[in-house]
Amino acid sequence: MLVAVDFSETTDVVMKEAEKLALALAGRVWVLHVAPPDPDFIGYDPGPQAERDYIARQRHREHCEVQDLARQLKEKGIQATAVLAQGDTAAVILEQADQLEADMIILGTHGHGAVYHLIAGSVSKGVIKRAVCPVYVVPSRVNR
């Protein structure tokens, strides 16, 4: 299972659902966080050294957080690996699912309205449209 997390309020709910599924199915879990691409990668000047240092600290923090999520699963007897990647979120989720030969993608939704999705799009919608394996979308407001 590939579990995509963004460290928002939805992450805890997504991880609880992933844990339940992994325990029920005796599945291996890859916990993926997709960071935005570096500014110079997308054609923008990366800015002064202070900005580059800030981005490096941010990536280190994200790496530690995704490692911690995988560690929490391991403590419960689940095979888990942390993955930190950069790029377009939906595209990277799909690429990683393909590379890791994931049988399922688990991700959350923030429950934004139709106008938000019309303007900004939706990661879960993009993944669902192009995925070749089942996608389990966990709503941010799971009542359990």
What pTM, to 2 d.p., does this model score? Answer: 0.84
Q: How far is CA 58 from the centre of its chain?
A: 16
Residue among 6, 32, 29, 7 nearest 18 (CA)? 29
139: Cα within 13 Å, side-chain hemisphere: 7
Answer for the pair 84, 60: CB distance below 8 angstroms, yes or no: no
Q: What is the pLDDT of residues 108-118, one digit of tens each?
A: 886 555 544 44
Strand partners, 106: 3, 136
Report the alpha-carbon distance of residue 115 to residue 129 in Å, rounded: 19
Q: What is the pLDDT of residues 4-30, one digit of tens each?
A: 999 988 899 999 999 999 999 999 999
Place of tokens 């995988």: 70
Position 37 pLDDT exceeds 60: yes
Count CB-CB contacts under 10 A for residue 111: 10
Quote the tokens at residue 10.
């939805």
